[in-house]
Amino acid sequence: MANARDIKKRIKAVGNIRRITKTMQMIATSKFAKAQLRATASKPYTEGIFDLVTQLAAKAGNISHPLIEGAPSAAKNPEVVLVITSNRGLCGPYNGSILRAAMAYLRANQNLAVEVAGKKGVGFFRFNGTPITIHTHLEDKTTYADIEKIANELMNRFITGQIRGVKLIYMKYLSTARQKPEILQLLPLKPTAVKSEAAPGSPTGAAKAASVEYEFSPPAEILLADLLPVTVRATLFQCYNDAIVSEHVARMVAMKSATDNAGKMGKYFTRKYNRARQSQITTELTEIISGAAALE
């Protein structure tokens, strides 16, 4: 049987750990509520601007734009893969899921330039010897202006032909109970085509599409020139907000699990201490009785 004093020390240590994890759980819960409010507030705008661009591109016909077509000389240039991870740990499988998705994409494709936001991702890729570009200024309270700088830089590199495209790998927030790693194509920006009621290529569908004409004021080219950069910035900002919310959810769940496990371990060591103490008392009583019997 273990020494009662050693078990008492273990009980105290487990209690301290439980208080720490409980505090971290409460902090993560508070940060999650604020981050969720930011993400849900910006989501309708992001979806609305993307739907507007989709409808405009579909109604205006074949309109060329550098953010849609890209530079013709960029075919042999690398594609940027921006991986968004956390700056801190203790968030369960959050970083592991993102990095597994990133490594699977890197193994399946070639000629890629990896850019990382988050210290955990930086440490992972450095350990694996992968050349990376680091975005170190991104924090939990990153503003739209910070994301706008990154988006503008990526768009400039894409328009000038330095890169052939941009992929985002991040944790998409679906609900409090569900998040999943997502690989999103940011550039070239391809608005979803509006499906016609007739089958593609049929005379009825072609005639219907050709018979409808729209007038734009200002022209569609000018509207798209303004809306497409806004769409890229808003999409990147929304993805980063989703990543922050998912991180806080994962940390909140991980710390709750750690707190529950610490509580169970504390009860286990308490029972173990009681047994050790009972055994010690029984031994002392036996020695006293044996000593008194020897004196008779």
236 within a domain of the structure (yes/no): yes
At 47 the pLDDT is 85
Q: In the β-sheet with 178-187, what is the strand arrangement from edge to edge?
A: 132-135, 112-117, 79-84, 165-175, 178-187
Q: Is a pLDDT exceeding 90 seen at residue 260?
A: yes
At 186 the pLDDT is 92
260 within a domain of the structure (yes/no): no
118 within a domain of the structure (yes/no): yes
pTM (two decimals):
0.82
139 within a domain of the structure (yes/no): yes
* Number of domain units in the chain: 1
Residue 112, C-beta contacts closer than 8 angstroms, at least 6 positions apart: 78, 79, 80, 81, 106
269 within a domain of the structure (yes/no): no
97 within a domain of the structure (yes/no): yes
Q: Is a pLDDT exceeding 80 seen at residue 167?
A: yes
Residue 236: give its domain's CATH number: 3.40.1380.10
Quote the domain boundaries for residue 246: 18-191+215-254
Around Cβ 232, how many Cβ atoms within 10 Å? 21
12 within a domain of the structure (yes/no): no
At 31 the pLDDT is 92
Cβ 160 vs Cβ 71: under 8 Å: yes
Residue 133 pairs in a beta bridge with 115
Looking at residue 111, the DSSP 8-state letter turns out to be S
Q: How many residues does the chain have?
A: 296
Rounded CA separation 141/135 (Å): 15
274 within a domain of the structure (yes/no): no
Structure tokens at 217: 């004021």
Rounded CA separation 240/1 (Å): 53
At 269 the pLDDT is 93
Structure tokens at 49: 């601007």
The string of pLDDT tens digits covering residues 13-65 is 999 999 999 999 999 999 999 999 988 888 888 888 888 787 777 666 666 78
Cβ-in-10-Å burial (0-12, 13-18, 19+) of 20 comes to middle
212 pLDDT band (50/70/90 cuts)?
very low
Rounded CA separation 21/64 (Å): 54
Peptide bond into 188 cis (omega under 30): yes
At 64 the pLDDT is 75
Q: Is a pLDDT exceeding 60 seen at residue 110?
A: yes
Q: Is a pLDDT exceeding 50 seen at residue 206?
A: no
At 254 the pLDDT is 95
137 pLDDT band (50/70/90 cuts)?
low
At 195 the pLDDT is 42
In Å, how far are 4, 52, 61, 72, 226 from 218, measured between CA atoms?
83, 15, 16, 28, 11
CA angle (21, 257, 90) in 5-degree steps: 55
Q: Is a pLDDT exceeding 50 seen at residue 209?
A: no
Cβ-in-10-Å burial (0-12, 13-18, 19+) of 150 comes to buried
